A and B are shown apart, each in its own frame.
Chain A
Amino acid sequence: MIEPLDRLLKSLEKAPPPTQKPAMGFFTDTTLCIGCKACEVACKEWNQLPSEGYTWTGNSYDNTGALGATTWRHVLFVEQVPESRQAPRWLLMSDVCKHCANAPCQEVCPTGAIIRTEFDSVYVQQDVCNGCGYCIAACPFGVIERNPLDGGAHKCTMCYDRLKIGEQPACAKVCPTQSIQFGDLRDLRQRARQRVTDLQSRGQDDAYLYGDDETILEGGLHAFFLLVDRPDVYNLPAEPKRPVANARPGYLASFVAATGFLLAGVYAFKRRG
C-alpha cells in the first residue's frame, strides 16, 4: 500500500533544475565571413537535419533561402556591385536564432515546451511541443518553423547537447575565420564593441552591432551581429517589438468593450418598449 503510493509521489517530483551557468551567446562578425557555409553544413550534420531539396535560386550563392525547421544556420549572400564596378561588395552573413533575452517564441508558448536553459539559451523541448504554431507567428525574425514531417516546432538549440558536455556549438567550432564567435555573453559584447571601434578607426564607418543592446525586444539578443549595412539588407527587422507587449492593452481594450456591451445588454433587456 505504501510502496505504490511512494512511487506515485516520486513520479510527481520534479528533477532539480540544472545549476545556472553564465549566459552564453554568439557574436557573428559578418566582416570576417567568407561564405563557406561550413557552419550551415556542420549544423545539419551534428543535428542530423535533412536537406531541403535541390533548387537553384539564382539569388547569388544562396540556395537555401532562409532559416527554418531544418536549416538552423543560414548564410546570406548580398551582392553590391554598382554598374561602374567601383567599390564592389559582397556581403556575407551567417544567420541563426537570436536566442532573444525576451524570447517571443518562449513567451507565447502555451505548453511550456520552450524554455530557457541554464546557459540562458532558448530551447524547444521536443517531447513537450504539440505543434500549436504560436511561436512561429511570434518570432520577429522568422526563425522557428514547424516541420511538416513531425509536426513540431524546430530551431537552433545552441547545441545544448554539446554545451552540456563542455563543447562549443558545431557551427562556431567549424567556422574557419572566427566570423562566428561563441562564448560568455558579457565577454562577447565587450569584444564586439571593441571590434566596432577598431573597424571604424580603420575607416569602416558603417560597422555597427545589431542586437547587442536593449533596443531590440527590450533586452537585446544573445546572438547578435556586426553588420555593415542596414538591417533589412540582411533581411533583419530594424527594431521589432516584443509581441507580448500587446497583450495588456489588448485585454484592457477588450475589458472596456465587454463592460460596455454588458451595460448595453442590460439596457436592451430592461428597457423594452
Chain B
Amino acid sequence: MDFSTSHGRVIPGQPPGPAEKVDGFTEPKDGQGAGPNLPIEDISPGYYGLPVLKTPVWRWEVWAYFFLGGLAAGSFVVASLARLFGDVDDRPIWRTGYLISLLAVLGCPPFLIKDLGRPARFLNMLRIFKPQSPMSLGVWGLLGFSGCALGQALISLRADVDVVEVGRPRRGSLSRGVAALGTVLGLFLGSYTGVLLSVTSVPLWSRSRLLGPTFLASALSSGTAAVSLGLLVSGQTTPKREAALDRFKLVTLIAEAIGLTLFLRETGRAARPLFSFQQMGRSFLLGAVGLGVGVPIFSRLLAGSSCRLVSGLSAVATLIGSLLLRRSIVEAGHWSAEDAEMTFWHTDRAKRGAR
C-alpha cells in the first residue's frame, strides 16, 4: 500500500496539488481554546492524541517475576557451571547457587498468578503447548526448570553428606544430567521474557530483537551477584571461588552493556520513555544502567575484586539494577503504547529502519 497519495488532502473539484495546510486534531495541550479542528503549530498525526494501542496490563507482578525468573535462571546456570566445570572446592558455589535458584523459582508462581485477570484459571496455561506463543513456551520452560531447580537443590543437599564422593564421576551423573538440562532451560528462562516482550506491538519492546539476550545477560549477572553475595554472607568466599564468579560476572555485565546499547540503537526514538525523567528515565538510567551495569563494572575496574565490601556492594547494585531493568522496560512499554505518535512512526514502513 502506498499512502503517499493520500498524504496531501485532495480537495474535491480541485486538481490535487500542493495540499492545503492540514489542520491537526489533538488534545489542546494547554487547554487554550483549541477546538476539534483548530490548527496547532506543531501538527501531530493521529486522533485527538488518543493512543492507538491499548496500554499493556502487565504491572509490577510481571517485572518482579521477570527479575525472579532471571535470578533463578542465572544462579542455576552459575551453579551448574561450577558443578560441571569447577572443582571440589567450588562446592559452596553450586550449593548456594542451587538454593538461591530454588528460592527464587518458588517465588515466581505467586506473581505469575497474581498478574492474571482470572487467577483461578492459571492452569489453563497448561491446557496446550503452543510454541508460537512465547508465554506458552515460557510457562512450560518455567515448569521444566522448576523441576530441575528443585531436583538439583535436593541432590545438592544430599550431596552435603557424602562430600568425598564428589570427585567420583559415576555417582554424580544424575546430578550432572539435571544440571545440564537445567542450564539449557535456565538459559531459556533468562531470555524468553525479553523475547515475550518483543513479540508484541508495543514500539519500545518490539523494534529490537535484542531484548532476549540483554535480559539473559542481566539474568546471569544478577544470578552471579546473588551467589557471590550468598558466599560472602555465609563466609564461604575465597579468592579462588570469587575469581571465577567475578570473571563470569564481568563478562555478563559487559554483554549486558553491549546488549543495552544495541537495543537502544535498534529501538531508536521509541526508547524515549527510558530517557525521560517524567517517565522511566530515573529507573532506567540511574537504576538499570547506573546501578546494574555502571557501578559493578567501574568498581571492578577501579577497586579490583579484592575488597569484600566493594564486591558485596557491587553485587547488591547488580541485583537492584537487574530488578530496575525489568521494571523500567516493562513500565516504559506502557508509556510507549500510549504514545500514538510513536506508534505511527513505528508502523510507517518508510521509517521502519529509522531510529
Contacts and interface: CB of A to CB of B under 8 A. Distances in A.
B116 interface: yes
B31 to A, nearest CB: 10
A258 B216 CA distance: 8
Nearest to B217: A257
B118 A237 contact: no
A138 B1 contact: no
B45 to A, nearest CB: 4
Given A79-B36, A253-B212, A146 B191 contact: no
B202 A107 contact: no
Interface of A: 57-60, 62, 65-66, 68, 76-83, 86-87, 89, 104, 107-113, 128-134, 136-148, 150-153, 203-206, 208, 210, 213, 215-216, 227-241, 243-244, 246-247, 249-254, 256-258, 260-262, 264-270, 272-273
Interface size of B as a range = 35 or more
Given A137-B58, A140-B347, A151 B118 contact: yes
B179 to A, nearest CB: 12
A57 B118 CA distance: 32
Contacts of B187: 254, 258, 261-262
A136 B56 contact: yes
Contact of B348 (A108, A239, A246, A247): A239
Interface in B37-74: 37, 39, 45-48, 50-54, 56-58
B52 A235 contact: yes
B209 A246 contact: yes
A238 B199 contact: no
A247 B132 contact: yes
B58 A254 contact: no
A217 B58 CA distance: 24
A203 B13 CA distance: 7
Given A82-B23, A152-B117, A258-B216, A140 B53 contact: yes
Contact of A243 (B14, B183, B200, B343): B200
Centre residue among A145, A204, A241, A269 by max chain B CB count within 10 A: A269
17 contacts: A78-B47, A87-B12, A89-B9, A130-B119, A132-B115, A136-B57, A140-B201, A142-B52, A203-B13, A205-B16, A233-B45, A243-B201, A250-B209, A253-B212, A254-B188, A265-B248, A268-B247
B349 A239 contact: yes
A112 B132 CA distance: 11
Interface string B323-348: 00000000001000100100110111
